[in-house]
Amino acid sequence: MIPLLPIATVRQALDAGDFDRASALLAEHERQVRAAVASAPPDAGSRANWLALLQAQRELVSDLQAARSHAGSGLQRLRDSHRGAAAYRTAAG
């Protein structure tokens, strides 16, 4: 049996900026997939379903990476702005 990918739950975590939870959900799903493959290896009849699952996983991982990158860029801009403000206060006396 192919484990269900918790797409909605992962997306909710991403939307909330809870990247650790999104990662944990994906890691748990990966564990379930590995267990499913070990207990009942995919066959030709289930190939399309497994490939669809793989594509959905890749999309979620890509979205997680993009969200983390976007958040990291935002933090860097905030740090730069803070440094600029501190330099201005120092120069202003």
Helix (H) or strand (E) holding 42: none
Q: What is the pLDDT of residue 73?
A: 72
Tell me if 21 sits within 8 A of 68, measured CB to CB.
Answer: no
**Number of neighbouring beta carbons within 10 Å of residue 87:** 10
Q: What is the pLDDT of residue 82?
A: 72
Q: What is the pLDDT of residue 52?
A: 95
Considering its fold, how many domains does the chain have in total?
Answer: 1
Query: Whole-prediction pTM value?
Result: 0.73
Assigned domain for 2 exists: no
pLDDT along the chain (93 residues), means of 10: 95 93 95 94 91 94 90 72 72 74
Assigned domain for 33 exists: yes
Domain extent at residue 52: 7-92
Three-class secondary structure of residue 5 per DSSP = coil
Q: What is the pLDDT of residue 87?
A: 66
How many residues can be counted in the chain? 93
Tell me if 85 sits within 8 A of 43, measured CB to CB.
Answer: no
